Amino acid sequence: MIRCEVIDNEHRLDELESEWHALWLRTGGGIFQSYYWIKAWWLSSQTDRLHIAVAWEDGELTAVLPLAILRLHGVRILQWAAQSVSDYCDALGDSPATLRQLWTMVSKRGGYDIVRLKNVRLDAAIRPMLQEAVARGEASDACLQVLSQWPNGERWFRSLNKKKRSNHSRGERMLSEMGKVTVRHILTDPSPALIAKLSDLKEQWRQANGLVSTCDTAMLTALVAGLGKLGALRIVVLECGDQVIAGSINAVQGNRLLAFFATYDPVVARASPGIMLMTNYIRWALDNGITEIDFLRGEEIYKFEFANTVVTLDVFLAGRTIVGGSIVAAYRLWVTAQRFANSRKQEQKPMIGSAYFTEKGTPRDMAAAKATEAIPA
């Protein structure tokens, strides 16, 4: 007998900690579906209303559909809990039938005008059900990755073209003239001052590029603490003298490294400290059994240069009420107009894996060639 309920308050969420974590371990869930990640987001956000659907069978938690309702200009939008800070969104469950039953309950319960479930991978457990019950998925963001084709980090570094390797050496020389250059790996209890410093550097970059923050210092601190509770935290910082000039907050799960947050000090931008730091943690990862380095969402040029594969994400969008249906229809018309306008601009994205090719367009080694053969245009 399956019993379903919707969690909409913090007290009941607290009571789920051990059962949710046990389900996450049992089903091999991703970092972004863990209890500690969702709870960290909720502690520092609370702008949405919790709408987490859970299923129980014989007193055991068997499925979690982590949802929330955002009210935007009076419109109620059903989305994933922690959607703004989660690059891969999904449900947890022992069986597709239980997840389908949970969604049926959420749908009958209502209380929202629009369904907007973003960042769903092609292999997400919830995807087949969403395609049946909500709508056909629409392509949205993409995540660029490095899949290991090399025996170790040194071999990977040697597969980079001469320009990339020279830039790395040049950056090291420039920084060494300013002070001693060190790289630190932090696994537990990072200082609040460090998190605040990294958050401030990121905010400077966002403002310079006209972007709005989705993760302030309080939320970043909470998420870092959540990764620490999972035993997945690995912060890598590049220091020159006694100053932090670049930092990356990563999650390590099995043979995967997720580069969740990265930033650098614009004062020393000419030395490319961010690329130097990324090169360091990729080399470390490949030397320590990591076979997948995921840069997650974002289309920064450096990600295209170093990646050798891409994961596409879909958004499931549908109107629930008359108001919601009208808004979704107007949005789709706007998207169609934008696509038509952009198709006339002749803009082309950077080449994936360009760091592994010479100026003449030939791969540096056979490993790089094999890694890029199956990459779609």
pLDDT tens string for the chain (377 positions)?
Answer: 789 999 999 999 999 999 999 999 999 999 999 999 999 999 888 677 999 999 999 989 999 999 999 998 899 999 999 999 999 999 999 899 999 999 999 999 999 999 999 999 999 999 999 999 888 888 888 999 999 999 999 999 999 999 999 999 999 999 999 999 999 999 999 999 999 999 999 998 888 877 777 788 999 999 999 999 999 999 999 999 889 999 999 999 999 999 999 999 999 999 999 999 999 999 999 999 999 999 999 888 889 999 999 999 999 999 999 999 999 999 889 888 877 777 666 566 778 888 998 877 777 664 444 444 444 43
- Domains of the chain, first to last: 2-142+312-338 (3.40.630.30), 150-307+350-372 (3.40.630.30)
- Residue 104 tokens read as 């049926």
As beta bridge partners, residue 318 has 115
pTM, two decimal places: 0.90
Dist CA 133 CA 136 (whole Å): 9
Provide the 10 A C-beta neighbour count for residue 265.
Answer: 21
Distance CA 28, CA 354 (A): 34
In sequence order, what are the beta bridge partners of 249? Answer: 235, 261
Q: How far apart are CA 274 and CA 301, in angstroms?
A: 12
Q: For every residue of 216-273, which 3-state class applies, written as one string?
A: CHHHHHHHHHHHHHHCCEEEEEEEECCEEEEEEEEEEECCEEEEEEEEECHHHHHHCH
